[in-house]
Amino acid sequence: MSIAAPILLTPGPLTTSARTRQAMMVDWGSWDDRFNQLTASLCEQLLAIINGAASHHCVPLQGSGTFAVEAAIGTLVPRDGKVLVLINGAYGKRLAKICEVLGRSFSTFETAEDEPTTAADVDRLLRADAGITHVALIHCETSTGILNPLPEIAQVIQQHGKRLIIDAMSSFGALPVDAQKIPFDALIAASGKCLEGVPGMGFVFANKESLAAAAGNSHSLAMDLFDQHAYMLKTGQWRFTPPTHVVAALHEALLQYNEEGGLPARHARYAANCQALMEEMGKLGLRSFLPAAIQAPIIATFHAPKDPRYQFKEFYERVKAKGYILYPGKLTQVETFRVGCIGHVQPAEMREVVAAIGEVLREMEVLEI
């Protein structure tokens, strides 16, 4: 822990290993065979995580996670399609905004931020509107850390013969998704989340048949995943300037992911981080916003102390001075703050950050929790 290199307890960018950062110390030519091999190896390893090689293509895309979500919707939802957007937080709302901006017809279904969408909800909504062609779902809604029941919802969508688009940005790599068991048109994630790479690229696992039928759907040149994939297939290269250092870092991060034991080990470490966090915060009297049953081991939301001496900005700065970066809350109704459980961190660091939080609350004379 140091102030110059704080530990990020945030949902991405997050704490990366020295080895991953070191991988960015080499410059790569984007036309060079070695770089093309790196990209190919990356896509192969990413597909293996979801057991998707037989059914899906991995299409990488420059930019932050939202770029990849927007590209997936723009490419895979035909212009005359209609999306049912399931919302229980800010990222669900962003999905709806993307549909609106892209001019795709959509309807929304919103539950409270501490209430998962259920398969029964989706069943009812699909029965009521035969015009819906696609359903868009956030797997782990990072604005609280709530987990939506993906397998059950996916099954209902398949029974109705509709298509599923999953924003798995903050869950991919840590929570299991098997593409042979969970049918989906697109699953979207990014480099700087549970794989512990650095931010700068997203990737979309696109169903092979759906992608093949998606020519001309996209409103955009740069965000057309059909073209991106076709060009990569033909040349082995990215269509436009690739984020070379981000690719190299993610490749190195994936080597470590596999050395650690892949998804089960990553999941187990994050679950242990989350448990240590909850235990220690509980000792300080800080209450989790979500019940344990619907809490994903990705990021946790805590109620802010009631004491008027508590101010998030001062609290944040003081915790930062002790070497830890926290995350503000994203709820409109209740005052909260968030602590990420993901990144190159262990339960020991989770206990240390809570010790720092306890010291800061004492320094601020925050008595009423």
Q: Which residues bind ligand PLP (CB under 6 A)?
A: 11-12, 64-66, 69, 91, 138, 142, 167, 169-170, 190
CA triple 106-110-115, angle to 5 deg = 145
C-alpha triplet 99, 208, 40: angle, nearest 5°: 100
In the complex, minimum distance from the CB of residue 2 to ligand PLP, in angstroms, rounded to a whole number? 25
Torsion of CA 333, 339, 342, 344, to 10 degrees: 160
Which residue's CB comes closest to ligand PLP?
A: 65
In angstroms, give the least distance from the CB of 68 to ligand PLP: 8
Nearest to 148 by CA among 188, 181, 194, 117: 117
Closest separation in Å from C-beta 199 to ligand PLP? 7
**Rg value, the chain, Cα:** 21
Token output for 162: 């509709």
The number of residues making up the chain comes to 369
CB of 29 to ligand PLP, least distance (A): 27
- Nearest Cα to Cα of residue 125 among 95, 75, 87, 93: 87
Q: Which two tokens stand for residue 291?
A: 């019940």
Q: How far is the CB of 169 from ligand PLP (least distance, A)?
A: 4
Shortest distance in whole angstroms from residue 231 CB to ligand PLP: 23
Whichever of 232 and 342 has its CB closer to ligand PLP, that residue is: 342
Helix-helix angle 262-284:244-260, to 10 degrees: 90
Q: How far is the CB of 11 from ligand PLP (least distance, A)?
A: 5
| Residue given tokens 């399609």 in the structure block | 81
Helix axes 347-363, 262-284, angle to 10 degrees: 20
Residue 169 or 356 with smaller CB distance to ligand PLP: 169
Comparison of 69 and 126: residue with beta carbon closer to ligand PLP: 69
Report the alpha-carbon distance of residue 131 to residue 313 in Å, rounded.
47
From the CB of residue 365, how many other CB atoms can be counted at a distance below 10 Å?
Answer: 9
100 versus 368: smaller Cβ distance to ligand PLP: 100
Q: Which of 200/305 has CB closer to ligand PLP? A: 200
Nearer to ligand PLP, 74 or 305 (CB): 74
Q: Decide if 246 contacts 63 (C-beta within 8 A).
A: no
Name the strand (E) or helix (H) holding 61: strand 56-62
In the bound state with ligand PLP, the residue whose beta carbon lies nearer, of 9 and 169, is 169
Residue whose CB is less far from ligand PLP, 167 or 224: 167
Tokens for 253? 């991060």
Shortest spacing between CB 103 and ligand PLP, in angstroms:
20
